[in-house]
C-alpha cells in the first residue's frame, strides 16, 4: 500500500519542487504542437492566432471582425454564423466518419452501449425536432438534470441545434438548488432521467425534479428519460410529464440546424461565487467552440483516427461541457463515458475500462488521483495500461506527491502530464503545458496557453515582474471567456473586473518561478474547492442558518487529505436548543438537503460566540486557524479575543 496522500502539504512543498520532466522524444516528434514559436506568434497577434483556429470550424457565414472589445464585454467573430452541433456531429458524418465511435458508454451495473457519430447526430436531431414540437424556440431556456449517459450529450446538441439555451445542473444537486437554477433562468422545459446508479445504489432523480418543479411555474413540461436496467424509481407521473421515448424517439432523424450568431448564447452553467447566490455563467457560440476545439487539439494532442479519450468529469461541471461534449466532439475523437463510481464494484473499475477500451488519453482530478493512491498501487498494477500516452489533471492544485504517483503508477513513466488550470468562467484551459513542447514540473500548470495573457498583481494592482507571487489576472480577452452572469451584468462587472480595473480577476493566488512557470495556490476568496467542486462558504452558511435551531453560522474550508478541502461549520444556537451530537448530524444533513451531498460539512462545532471584528465581521481566517489547529493569527482587531481560545478548546475536545 502506498502512504496516505497529503493534499495538506501542497503549498508548503510546492515551491521546493525542483524535479522536472522533458516531453519524451517520441511524443514530441508526433505532437500536434511541436513548434515552440507558436507562443511568440500567438502573442504578437492573438486575434490572428484565434482566427486561425476558428477557420477550422464550419461557418455558415464568416465573421467580419475577429474581436470587438468594449471592456469588460467581448464579442468574438462578430457577424459570423454557425451552429455548435454541426461542428461536433454533421462535419464528421459528412466527412464519411459516421461509423466512428463517439462514445463507449458503460453503466455502473455493467450494461454497455456503443454510439457512433451518426447515432449521436440522429439522437440530437430527434431531440431538436421533439423540442420544436413542444414549442421550444431559439433563446428559450431548457434545464437538463441527467446523469452520465449519452442522451445528455444528445440533449445538449439537440438544444444547440435549435438555438435553445441549455443549462445542465449536476445531478448531485438537491431539489432546492435545482429549483433556484430553474427559477433564475426561467426555464420552459426540464429534461431529466428517472434515476442513475452510484455505488451500487439507484439514485432517484425524478423525485428531486418533481420537488423542484413544483415551485417553478415557468416549466411547462418535464421529459423523462428512463434509465432502465431495473431502475424504476418511487416517483409518480405528473400531468406535465412526458416520456423521452414519446417526445423524441418518433421524431425525424434529421433536423436543419439554426444558423446562430457567433455571439448567441450556447449555455448557462451555475457556479459558486462569494455570495450565497450561485452565478449563471453565460457562454456563447463561436468563440467558445473555437477555444474548446483548439485547446482539445493542442493540450490533449488529439489524433481522432487513433485516440480514445476519457475525461472522467461529470457533464454537470464545466469540464464535462468543454472536454466531453464540445472540444473532443468538435475534434471527432472517440471517447469513453462511465456512469458510476470509480471504486464500484472494486477500486480498479477505471483501469479495467482503460484497458478494455484502450484509452490513450486520460483526464481526471487531483482528488481522484489521491483516492487512487489511498486505495493502493495494486489496483492499477493489475491492468494493461500500455494504451495510455498522455495524462491530464484539472480542478484544484495537484500536490507534487500525487503528480509523481500518477506519472509512475498510471503513466508508467512514459506519459507526459498536463496540469490544466481554468474555470467555469474561462470556458477552456488557459494555463497548461503543451505536451510535446513544455518541460513539466510536478505541481505547476506551467505557462499560459498560446494567445492567453496572464499576469500576477499585488494587493494594489501593481504587476509583479519576474519571479514572485500575487493574484492571478488575465490581461486580454480570450474567445471562450464568459460573456456575463445571467441576468446580472452588474455582478459580472463587479466580480471580475472591478478589483483590478481593466484586468480579469480569477480569484486564485499564484506564484511564478524564475523560468516563468505558474504555480496555482488555490482560491483567495470565500470560495472552497471540495473534491474539485466549487462551493461558496456563504451558500453553506445560509443553509445552516436556514435550520430553526441556528442563530448564526460561519463556514471555513479546511485542508483534507483526499478532497483537498472540506467545509467545517461553526454554529451559534438559538436559545432553547442544546448542542447535541444528534443536532450536529441534523445540521449536516440539512446542508446536504438544501444544497446537495457535495456540500455536507465534515463537522459542525457549536460555539458560544463567533470571533468578530469590532465592526461585526466574522473573522473566518481565525476560524480556519482553529480548524487547522494552527497557532492563532493576529487577534488584535477582535471584539473579544477570548472567543477564539474558547472555540479552540471546543474544537480540540471534539477532535479527541
Ligand atoms: O481555484 C482554481 C481551481 O478551480 C477553480 C475553478 O473552479 P471551477 O470553475 O469549478 O472549474 C473547475 C474546472 C475547470 C479555479 O479558480 N483550479 C482549476 N484547475 C486548477 C485549479 N487550481 C490549480 N490547478 C489547476 N489545474
* pLDDT 10s digits, 315-363: 999 999 999 999 999 999 999 999 999 999 999 999 999 999 999 999 9
Beta strands 65-70 and 73-78, pairing class: antiparallel
* pLDDT of 656: 52
Q: Average pLDDT of 450-456?
A: 98
* pLDDT of 632: 64
Nearest atom of ligand 1 to the alpha carbon of 432 = 26
Nearest atom of ligand 1 to the alpha carbon of 393 = 26
Q: Is the pLDDT of residue 4 over 60?
A: no
Q: Domain ranges in the chain?
A: 38-419, 523-655
Ligand 1 geometric centre to CA of 140 (Å): 30
* pLDDT of 648: 76
For residues 602 and 637, the model is more confident at: 602
Distances in Å between the Cα of 88 and the Cα atoms of 329, 412, 580 are 5, 33, 55
Which residue's CA is the closest to the ligand 1 atom numbered 14? 423
Ligand 1 geometric centre to CA of 363 (Å): 14
Rama region for 625: left / alpha / beta (φ>0; ψ in -120 to 50; rest): alpha
Ligand 1 geometric centre to CA of 396 (Å): 5
* pLDDT of 74: 98
How far, in Å, CA of 351 to CA of 627, rounded?
36
Nearest atom of ligand 1 to the alpha carbon of 507 = 16
- The secondary structure of residue 431, as a DSSP letter, is B
* pLDDT of 635: 65
Q: Quick check: 394 and 319 in contact, CB under 8 A?
A: yes
CATH of the structural domain 523-655, one choice from 3.40.50.880, 3.30.300.30, 3.40.50.300, 3.40.50.740: 3.30.300.30
Which residue's CA is the closest to the ligand 1 atom numbered 11? 423
74-78, 246-250, 555-559: which range is least confident on average? 555-559
CA 33 to centroid of chain Cα atoms: 25
Distances in Å between the Cα of 636 and the Cα atoms of 382, 464, 608, 630 are 57, 30, 20, 17
Question: Residue 389 CB: number of other CB atoms within 10 A?
Answer: 22
Nearest atom of ligand 1 to the alpha carbon of 523 = 1
* pLDDT of 415: 98
Q: Quick check: 556 and 620 in contact, CB under 8 A?
A: yes
Mutate to test the pocket of ligand 1, among 520, 525, 528, 535 (most ligand atoms within 8 A of CB): 520
Nearest atom of ligand 1 to the alpha carbon of 431 = 26
Question: Residue 620 CB: number of other CB atoms within 10 A?
Answer: 19
Q: Quick check: 620 and 553 in contact, CB under 8 A?
A: no
Q: Average pLDDT of 411-430?
A: 98
β-strand partners of 81: 61, 261
Nearest atom of ligand 1 to the alpha carbon of 313 = 13
* pLDDT of 1: 36
Is residue 319 within 6 Å of ligand 1 at its C-beta?
yes
Question: How large is the C-alpha radius of gyration of the chain?
Answer: 24
* pLDDT of 655: 59
Joined together, the cell numbers standing for residue 272 give 459558486
pLDDT tens-place string over residues 478-528: 999 999 999 999 999 999 999 999 999 999 999 999 999 999 999 998 898
* pLDDT of 545: 93
**H helices then E strands: how many in the chain?**
23, 30
Is residue 207 within 6 Å of ligand 1 at its C-beta?
no
Is residue 424 within 6 Å of ligand 1 at its C-beta?
yes
Q: Considering the chain, what is the average pLDDT of its residues?
A: 93
Joined together, the cell numbers standing for residue 396 give 484544484
Q: Is the pLDDT of residue 372 over 80?
A: yes
Is residue 529 within 6 Å of ligand 1 at its C-beta?
yes
Ligand 1 geometric centre to CA of 422 (Å): 5
Q: Average pLDDT of 561-573?
A: 93
Task: Work out the widest C-alpha separation in the chain, in whole angstroms.
Answer: 73
How far, in Å, CA of 617 to CA of 620, rounded?
9
pLDDT > 70 fraction of the chain, expressed in percent and rounded: 95
Which residue's CA is the closest to the ligand 1 atom numbered 25? 421
* pLDDT of 2: 40
Residue 3's pLDDT band (boundaries 50, 70, 90)?
A: very low
For residues 634 and 382, the model is more confident at: 382
Ligand 1 geometric centre to CA of 447 (Å): 15
Q: Average pLDDT of 236-256?
A: 94
pLDDT tens-place string over residues 144-180: 999 999 999 999 999 999 999 999 999 999 999 999 9
Q: Quick check: 284 and 266 in contact, CB under 8 A?
A: yes
Which residue's CA is the closest to the ligand 1 atom numbered 7? 423
How far, in Å, CA of 167 to CA of 174, rounded?
16
Half-sphere exposure of 208 (CA within 13 A, CB side): 30
For residues 182 and 649, the model is more confident at: 182
Residue 9's pLDDT band (boundaries 50, 70, 90)?
A: low
Q: Is the pLDDT of residue 231 over 60?
A: no
Is residue 422 within 6 Å of ligand 1 at its C-beta?
yes
CA 124 to centroid of chain Cα atoms: 23
Is residue 183 within 6 Å of ligand 1 at its C-beta?
no
Nearest atom of ligand 1 to the alpha carbon of 506 = 16
Question: Residue 193 CB: number of other CB atoms within 10 A?
Answer: 26
Is residue 432 within 6 Å of ligand 1 at its C-beta?
no
How far, in Å, CA of 225 to CA of 193, rounded?
4
* pLDDT of 156: 99
The pTM of this model reads 0.93
Say which CATH class 38-419 falls into. Answer: alpha beta
Q: Which of 336, 337, 342 is nearest to 387 (CA)?
A: 336
Amino acid at each position: 500500500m502506498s502512504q496516505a496522500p497529503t493534499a495538506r502539504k501542497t503549498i508548503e512543498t510546492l515551491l521546493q519542487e525542483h524535479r522536472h520532466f522533458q516531453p519524451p522524444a517520441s511524443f514530441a516528434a508526433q505532437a500536434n504542437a511541436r513548434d515552440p514559436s507558436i507562443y511568440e506568434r500567438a502573442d504578437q497577434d492573438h486575434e490572428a492566432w484565434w482566427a486561425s483556429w476558428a477557420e477550422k470550424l464550419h461557418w455558415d457565414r464568416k465573421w467580419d471582425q475577429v474581436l470587438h472589445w468594449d471592456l469588460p464585454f467581448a464579442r468574438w467573430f462578430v457577424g459570423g454564423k454557425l451552429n455548435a452541433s454541426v461542428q461536433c456531429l454533421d462535419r464528421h458524418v459528412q466527412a464519411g466518419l459516421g461509423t466512428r465511435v463517439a462514445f463507449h458508454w458503460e453503466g455502473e451495473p455493467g450494461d454497455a452501449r456503443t454510439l457512433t457519430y451518426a447515432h449521436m447526430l440522429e439522437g440530437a436531431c430527434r431531440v431538436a425536432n421533439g423540442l420544436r414540437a413542444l414549442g421550444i424556440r431559439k433563446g428559450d431556456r431548457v434545464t437538463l438534470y441527467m446523469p452520465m449517459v449519452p442522451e445528455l450529450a444528445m440533449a445538449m446538441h439537440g438544444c444547440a441545434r435549435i438555438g435553445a439555451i441549455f443549462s445542465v445542473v449536476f445531478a448531485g444537486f438537491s431539489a432546492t438548488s435545482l429549483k433556484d437554477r430553474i427559477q433564475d433562468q426561467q426555464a420552459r422545459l426540464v429534461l431529466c432521467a428517472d434515476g442513475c446508479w452510484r455505488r451500487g445504489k439507484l439514485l432517484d432523480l425524478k423525485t428531486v425534479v418533481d420537488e423542484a418543479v413544483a415551485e417553478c411555474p415557468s416549466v411547462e413540461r418535464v421529459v423523462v428519460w428512463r434509465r432502465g436496467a431495473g431502475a424504476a424509481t418511487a416517483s409518480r407521473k405528473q400531468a406535465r410529464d412526458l416520456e423521452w421515448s414519446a417526445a423524441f424517439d418518433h421524431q425525424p432523424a434529421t433536423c436543419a440546424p439554426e444558423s446562430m450568431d457567433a455571439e448567441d448564447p450556447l449555455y448557462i452553467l451555475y457556479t459558486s461565487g462569494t455570495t450565497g447566490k450561485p452565478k449563471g455563467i453565460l457562454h456563447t457560440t463561436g468563440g467558445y467552440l473555437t477555444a474548446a476545439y483548439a485547446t482539445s487539439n493542442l493540450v490533449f494532442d488529439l489524433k481522432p483516427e487513433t485516440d480514445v479519450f476519457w475525461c472522467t468529469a461529470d457533464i454537470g461541471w464545466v469540464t464535462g461541457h468543454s472536454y466531453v461534449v464540445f472540444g473532443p466532439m468538435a475534434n471527432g475523437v472517440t471517447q469513453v463515458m462511465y456512469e458510476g463510481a470509480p471504486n464500484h464494484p472494486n477500486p480498479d473499475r477505471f483501469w479495467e475500462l482503460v484497458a478494455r477500451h484502450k484509452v490513450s488519453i486520460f483526464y481526471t482530478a487531483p482528488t481522484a488521483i489521491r483516492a487512487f493512491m489511498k486505495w493502493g498501487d495494486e489496483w492499477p498494477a493489475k491492468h494493461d495500461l500500455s494504451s495510455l500516452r498522455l495524462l491530464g489533471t484539472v480542478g484544484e492544485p495537484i500536490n507534487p506527491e500525487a503528480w509523481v504517483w500518477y506519472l509512475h503508477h498510471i503513466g508508467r513513466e512514459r506519459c507526459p502530464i498536463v496540469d490544466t488550470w481554468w474555470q467555469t468562467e474561462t470556458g477552456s484551459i488557459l494555463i497548461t503545458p503543451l505536451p510535446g513542447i513544455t518541460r513539466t514540473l510536478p505541481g505547476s500548470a506551467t505557462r499560459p496557453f498560446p494567445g492567453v495573457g496572464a499576469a500576477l498583481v499585488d494587493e494594489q494592482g501593481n504587476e509583479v515582474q519576474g519571479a514572485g507571487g500575487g493574484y492571478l489576472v488575465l490581461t486580454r480577452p480570450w474567445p471562450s471567456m464568459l460573456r456575463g452572469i445571467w441576468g446580472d451584468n452588474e455582478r459580472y462587472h463587479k466580480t471580475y473586473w472591478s478589483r483590478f480595473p481593466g484586468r480579469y480577476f480569477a480569484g486564485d493566488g499564484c506564484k511564478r518561478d524564475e523560468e516563468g512557470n505558474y504555480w496555482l495556490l488555490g482560491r483567495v476568496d470565500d470560495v472552497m474547492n471540495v473534491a474539485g467542486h466549487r462551493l461558496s462558504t456563504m451558500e453553506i452558511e445560509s443553509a445552516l442558518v436556514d435550520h430553526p435551531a441556528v442563530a448564526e453560522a460561519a463556514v471555513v474550508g479546511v485542508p483534507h487529505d483526499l478532497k483537498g478541502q472540506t467545509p467545517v461549520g461553526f454554529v451559534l444556537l438559538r436559545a432553547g436548543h442544546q448542542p447535541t451530537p444528534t443536532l450536529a448530524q441534523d445540521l449536516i444533513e440539512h446542508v446536504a438537503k438544501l444544497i446537495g451531498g457535495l456540500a455536507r460539512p465534515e463537522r459542525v462545532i457549536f460555539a458560544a460566540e463567533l470571533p468578530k471584528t469590532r465592526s461585526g465581521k466574522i473573522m473566518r481566517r481565525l476560524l480556519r486557524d482553529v480548524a487547522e489547529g494552527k497557532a492563532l493569527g493576529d487577534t488584535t482587531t477582535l471584539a473579544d479575543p477570548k472567543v477564539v481560545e474558547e472555540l479552540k478548546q471546543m474544537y480540540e475536545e471534539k477532535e479527541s
